Amino acid sequence: MSVSVEKSYDVVIIGSGIGGGAVAFSLAGTGARVLILERGERLPREAENWSPEAVFVEQRYRTREIWYDGKGRPFRPGQFYFVGGHTKVYGTAMFRFRERDFEGIDHADGRTVAWPVRYADLEPWYASAERIFGVHGKAGDDPTEPPRSTPYPHPPIPHEPIVAKAFDRMRALGLHPFHMPAAVDLHPGGTCVRCGTCDAFPCQVGAKGDAETRLIDPALQHANVALQTGSEVTRLIADEKGKRIVAAEYRHGGKLHEVRARLFVLSAGAINSAALL
Ligand SMILES: Cc1cc2nc3c(=O)[nH]c(=O)nc-3n(C[C@H](O)[C@H](O)[C@H](O)COP(=O)(O)OP(=O)(O)OC[C@H]3O[C@@H](n4cnc5c(N)ncnc54)[C@H](O)[C@@H]3O)c2cc1C
């Protein structure tokens, strides 16, 4: 199949999930010419978004792609290819890592390598992300929570009556239940109707703080950022020394295209990024 070579960009971002979306959001309004390549399309807002039958039985939003396990057996992976990536179905839980998560940790099979940054380095960025995503929460109840420079932007989501009862009983036993930090628009001016779905369901009213609504769409308000959907990157092309990625090949509209850039951001999710590399 012939490959058509297109114009070049400063930055090409592969994948529009929370990883790629955060980069696009940060580069919006700068001088950099940015292209986001996303294999999926926009997830439609429709009645089936909130239907357990459609979501779990028909698996309406899950990819129809077939993968193979280590023994060559085919299976349909739990992957969702849409603008916004997996945050279109995530549960809105917006936790910060704990300080100890950045250290080397002993596991049964060995010790993990400590991160090159610490919690304190990332703290201002957590604060900024919570603002962008409109996180509801309450500091002070969780004894493992790390220090924070700012309060949560919104008060915690009130518990359902049955959960409130369990919460009180746990407290009476000396335990430390706490409100889950949640990125959802359940405040004055917000669109959440407390439908009772979130985890694994797309949001029909756009109330979830997801990568499409909070990062990609605001980034696209700026002329320097463009999004191209239905564009699956199939190959990364290195320079002659094999040290630097200078181009990417992608399939769009049944044809292969090649795009060049000074910088490529590979944010296609844990498995697809690894597969591309
Ligand atoms: C049901 C469910 C509930 C979850 N709940 C929570 C939660 O409450 N809190 C939490 O913190 N996390 C939660 N997670 C996990 C969280 O959603 C993911 O960790 C996060 O979305 C990953 O973001 P990412 O940008 O790294 O990758 P992804 O979201 O996978 O984004 C990658 C993007 O790249 C695109 N792509 C893939 N391959 C290519 C290619 N070759 N070319 C072009 N584009 C490509 C994909 O379509 C996708 O849009 C949940 C996940 C699921 C499935």
Distance between Cα 15 and ligand 1 center (Å): 9
Amino acid at 64: R
Say yes or no: CB of residue 86 within 6 Å of ligand 1. Answer: yes
Per-residue model confidence (pLDDT) at position 5: 67
Residue of 153, 102, 160 whose CA lies nearest to 128: 153
User: What is the per-residue pLDDT across 34-71, written as a single tens digit (0 to 9) for each?
Assistant: 999 999 999 999 999 999 999 999 999 999 999 999 99
Among 90, 213, 214, 264, which is best to mutate for testing ligand 1, by the most ligand atoms less than 8 A from CB? 90
Per-residue model confidence (pLDDT) at position 1: 64
User: What is the per-residue pLDDT across 152-169, written as a single tens digit (0 to 9) for each?
Assistant: 999 999 999 999 999 999
Report which ligand 1 atom has the smallest distance to the Cα of 233: 42
Contact between 170 and 187 (Cβ < 8 Å): no
26 CB-near residues (< 8 Å, 6+ apart): none
Nearest alpha carbon, ligand 1 atom 4: 90
Report which ligand 1 atom has the smallest distance to the Cα of 81: 47
Spatial separation of the C-alpha atoms in residues 203 and 200, rounded to whole Å: 10
Distance between Cα 218 and ligand 1 center (Å): 19
Per-residue model confidence (pLDDT) at position 197: 86
Low-confidence ranges of the chain (pLDDT < 50): none
pTM: 0.95
Distance between Cα 28 and ligand 1 center (Å): 21
Distance between Cα 256 and ligand 1 center (Å): 25
Distance between Cα 219 and ligand 1 center (Å): 18
